[in-house]
Every structure is written in structure tokens, then in C-alpha cells.
Amino acid sequence: MTCIYRKLKCAFSGEPCFVCCLKNLKESTTTRLSYSVILIVVVVLSTASHEGGLMGMLHSKVTVFGQFSLRYFQYKSELSSLCSLLHAGENCTRFSGYIGIYRLCLPLFLFHTVMALLTVGVSSSQTLRGRIHNGFWAWKVLMLLGLYICAYLFPTLEELVFVWMILGIIGGLIFIYVQHITLIDFAYELNGIWHAKSRKCMWYTFLIYLCTIVLYLATVAAYTLFIISYGLPKQCSLNLTMTGINGGLTGLFAICSIFSNT
């Protein structure tokens, strides 16, 4: 009952969420997990809505999933009726393709923009804005649902697709930049902790070298896949050039990072 009570407080008040089986988690960790769950759900739905995803496979009648695709065609008329009832177009085309992805990502962008503006300069989780950031999850979900309803009912989204593409590029660049800073900060701090502990335990030295080797191998594998998948099949010079420049800069920065005075 205590767990249920605290969950209700997390949903309708400014109390932070917590995991019942992990009571020692910090409120900042559970807040990050809550926002991450929302992001993961939207990413999964966006992947399914993509033309190359689940909706695209169903529309193109590719029976990749065997029994699942067979059941889809068995109930296709019922699904078409549901799409007509929702005014989502034939085969729910308003939910699929890049337009469907924009309808999923635009409300999430607006939600996080509002939350970012509300929490600028917050230094304590005990303030009102800090409590809004950590709690009130039921109201946040209702806000998200309202934004999704508005995005679905927005009549001219298809006509403004070029504008959304430009905004998507700008937002994507900002997101990648922030993630890079966060990732570098995290790696630097973790390396400092492991390096300090390696003086007392050799296992941490082994972990540092192991993680370094694994990450470099993963990077080489990723660039190889980029070239094979996006450059060589159609001899796309732009993709090959961008991959080469990015890989070259990555290698240069990796060499510079070896020297302590750089």
C-alpha cells in the first residue's frame, strides 16, 4: 500500500517517482528514467511508423513476420474501418511515413521545450519548479496527450512539411551537440574515478584499457557499416565524403587525446 500511495503522490503531486524494488535510487535517477521511458516509447512508435518500419511492411504486403502479417490481412477490413473512423486516411496513412513521425515527434519537442523553459535556473528540487520537474507525472502525460491530439487534428501539417524538416535539422543538431557534451563529461568523470581507484586495484586499470579497446573497435565497425550500407551500394559520393571526413576527424581527435597536454 505504501508503494501505491507513493506512486499516486508521484502522479498527482510534486513528489519524485521511485522504483518499489529499488528504494535507494536517487530522485534524480528516477526522474531521468521517467523521461527516458517517454522518449523510448516515442522512438519505438516512430520506428514502427516509418515507411521502412512496421507500417511500411504492412502496406507493401511484405510477409516478414509470417503469422503476424497473415493475421493483418485477415483483419484488414476491420483495420480499414477503424482508420476511416479515426479519419486517418486509407490504411491509416496519416500515422505512417515521415508525416506520421512528425506528428509523433513535434508534440514531444514542444513538451520538452515547455519543461526546459519552466526549469531554467532551478538549483534545488525542493522549489516549485523543481517539484514540477520531478513530479506531477499524471498531468505531464495529459499534457502530452493533448499535444498529440492537437498534432493529429492540425490540418496543414503536410503543407508545412519543409518548415518541419528545417526545424527537425536544427533541433537534431542541438540535441546531438548537447548529447556530445554530456557524453564527454560522463566519460571524463568516469575515467577519473577509475583512474583514482586503479592505484589500489589493478582491475580498474584493466577496465580502462578494455573499455577503450571495445569503444575503438565499435567505432571502426560503425564506420565500416556506414560505408557498406550507405556509400558503396549506389556509389553515393556525398555519403562516402561525409563518412570519410567524420572518420578522419574522429581519428585525429583520438590521436590528440592520447597526449596529456592537448
Per-residue confidence (pLDDT) for residue 23, from 0 to 100: 64
Phi, psi angle pair for 77, to nearest 5°: -65, -40
Domain ranges, ordered by start, for the chain: 2-50+96-159, 165-258
Judged against a pLDDT cut of 60, whether residue 116 lies above it is answered with yes
Q: What is the mean pLDDT of residues 144-164?
A: 76
Does residue 53 surpass a pLDDT of 80? Answer: no
Does 119 score more than 60 pLDDT?
yes
How much is the average pLDDT of 200-229?
87
Query: For residue 81, what pLDDT band results from cuts at 50, 70 and 90?
Result: low
- Name, in order, each residue with C-beta under 8 angstroms of 11's C-beta and a sequence gap of 6 or more: 136, 137, 138
Supply the pTM of this predicted model: 0.61
**Backbone phi, psi, residue 63, to 5°:** -90, 60
Spatial CA neighbour of 72 closest among 242, 62, 177, 219: 62
Q: How many helices (H) and strands (E) does the chain have?
A: 11, 0
What pLDDT digit, counting tens, does each position of 84-106 carry?
666 665 656 666 677 777 778 88
Lowest mean pLDDT among 20-29, 215-224, 241-250: 20-29
pLDDT at 64 over 60: no
State the DSSP code for 62: -
Q: What's the CA gap between 79 and 92, in Å, rounded?
A: 9
Cβ-Cβ contacts under 8 Å for 27 (sequence gap 6 or more): 16, 17, 18, 125, 134
Q: Which residue has the higher pLDDT, 58 or 42?
A: 42
CB-CB contact of 30 with 16 (8 Å): yes
Whether 170 shows a pLDDT value over 80: the answer reads yes
Higher pLDDT, residue 228 or 57: 228
Q: Poorest-confidence range of 34-43, 88-97, 114-123, 217-226?
A: 88-97
Mean pLDDT, all residues of the chain:
75
**What's the pLDDT score for residue 58?**
52
Distance CA 128, CA 167 (A): 31
**pLDDT attached to residue 65:** 46
Mean pLDDT in residue range 45-67:
56
- At 218 the pLDDT is 92
> Rounded to a whole number, what is the distance in angstroms from the first to the last CA of the chain?
56
**Residue 185 DSSP label:** H
- How large is the average pLDDT for residues 189-217? 87
pLDDT at 79 over 70: no
pLDDT at residue 72 above 60?
Answer: no
